[in-house]
Amino acid sequence: MLIRRLLITLVAFPLSAFAQEKKEAKGGDPPPKDTAVTTSHVLKLDGKSVNYTATAGTLPLLDEAGKPTANVFYVAYTRADAAPEGRPITFTFNGGPGSSSVWLHMGAFGPKRVALTDEGEPPPPPARLVDNDLSILDLTDLVFIDPVTTGYSRPAVGQEAKKFHGVKEDVEAVGEFIRLYVTRQKRWGSPKYLAGESYGTTRAANLVGHLQDRHGMNFNGVILVSAILDFQTARFDEGNDLPHVLFLPTFTATAWYHKKLGSEYQADLKRTLAEVEKFAEDEYAKALMKGDKLTDAERGHVAEKLAAFTGLSADYIRRANLRPEIGRFTKELLRGDRRTVGRFDSRMKGTDKDAVGERHEYDPSYATVQGAYTSALNEYVRGSLKYESDLPYEILTGKVQPWNYGDYQNRYVNVAPVLRSALTKNPHLRVFLASGYYDLATPYFAADYTMNHLHLEADRRKRITTAYYEAGHMMYVHRPSHEKLKKDLADFYALK
């Protein structure tokens, strides 16, 4: 019996070693494959039936040795009745950093959307999905990408998450996903677009340059929803007066919406904003530049003008050194009503435990949508798309922090030069900029300022289209703004 066991052991060992040598000779384990589930659906758009295929799954990213580094979750929608050749394809994502693509996916562009009121308020739970009659699936195929650590996307086993959490790292990972997807799905011959929201616009501007320079992948268009390309325009740091100038028109729009302006300015929003913009870039900018050289008379005059344009008291503005910043404004504007206003959408009102704090306790405009979008997405993925995972779907996570700003250490992130370079090198590239008047996260005047400082030649400047909406950061939660956005994008995709 003992001899028999020894023989079995001796035979088993060389066989195992031989199998291992054979495996190594072939290059180790075969690379992981894209795990995807495909389903078929129909959507009515403008009275016409759009047959489409939905694909939900993860696409593994590999290093040069074929070793997996991350699994990126995506949902793709392609028209079933249209040949991919010549059919536009748009790669879409949100921002954060740390956000999944759920907002543009389930709010703006995808074939399903979270049911909200026309003003953007959710009904009682549970959240409900409806057909998105304003989807852009009739204009383009869509691929919604969740960057690593968001949604169901995760680093591969043995890989550190921080390798993907940074300005450069993020662009390289998302760029590699797009390259792989385009190659495997045979979409190199399709017109290609990028669409990002918030920090997703930072990613989109970086990506269009990265993919163009690194892989020779030229794009037809970049869609920037609630854009921030130059972070100096939105950081209320000591010594940086630029945000005070650029946020002022949004302060005015917010005060107008809540009826806190005098009758002279309450009558017509757009006319009022035109006057405020002129004041901001001229008289107000000069006053801030003068600093302590301002006379008492000049200081008093500017404070009175700011009070008229913001709904705050002149005394409060004087005590703030003519520099009311966003955190204080959202608390101060409706303090007398014991209410706060939202950062993402300043139309929305919140209630803190008291009315004496300096800043609001939470952003009511995020609290309004966070639960509805989260539960709707989780139901939709398993129910309609048939994709199953026990991982938590990370809607908006802090797990990507600290974010590595790399080359931008000790200075403001500014990817506008990358976009300028891409526009210069690719004379057919077009940009669509969508901004909400009530967006206090990425104000419209700040986005305009960035676009006006790209230093482009006139022919390239004409390739930038701007549009404004009477809503906030997620302008598509407001039904009239969503309708306008769909029309504006239809015009944009039609441009040649």
Handedness of CA 346, 351, 357, 361 (dihedral sign): negative
CA 224 – CA 246 distance, rounded (Å): 18
Half-sphere exposure of 58 (CA within 13 A, CB side): 24
Q: Which amino acid is at 113?
A: R
Full set of structural domains in the chain with CATH: 43-232+393-494 (3.40.50.1820), 243-362 (no CATH)
pLDDT at 72 over 50: yes
- The residue written with tokens 């900018």 in the block is 285
Instruction: Write the pLDDT tens digit of every residue in 96-117.
Output: 999 999 999 999 999 999 999 9
Furthest-apart CA pair in the chain: how many Å?
107
User: 104 near 198, Cβ under 8 Å?
Assistant: no
pLDDT beyond 90 at 9: no
Q: What's the average model confidence in pLDDT over 29-40? A: 74
- At residue 358, the pLDDT reads 87
How far is residue 51's CA from residue 99's CA, in Å, rounded to a whole number?
A: 29
Amino acid at 271: R
Query: Which of the four pLDDT bands, split at 50, 70 and 90, describes residue 8?
Result: very low
- Range with lowest mean pLDDT among 175-184, 356-365, 429-438: 356-365
- CA separation for the pair 102, 113 (Å, rounded): 10
Residue % of the chain over a pLDDT of 90: 87
Lowest mean pLDDT of 54-58, 251-255, 364-368, name the range. Answer: 364-368
The verdict on whether omega for the bond into residue 14 sits within 30 degrees of 0, i.e. cis, is: no
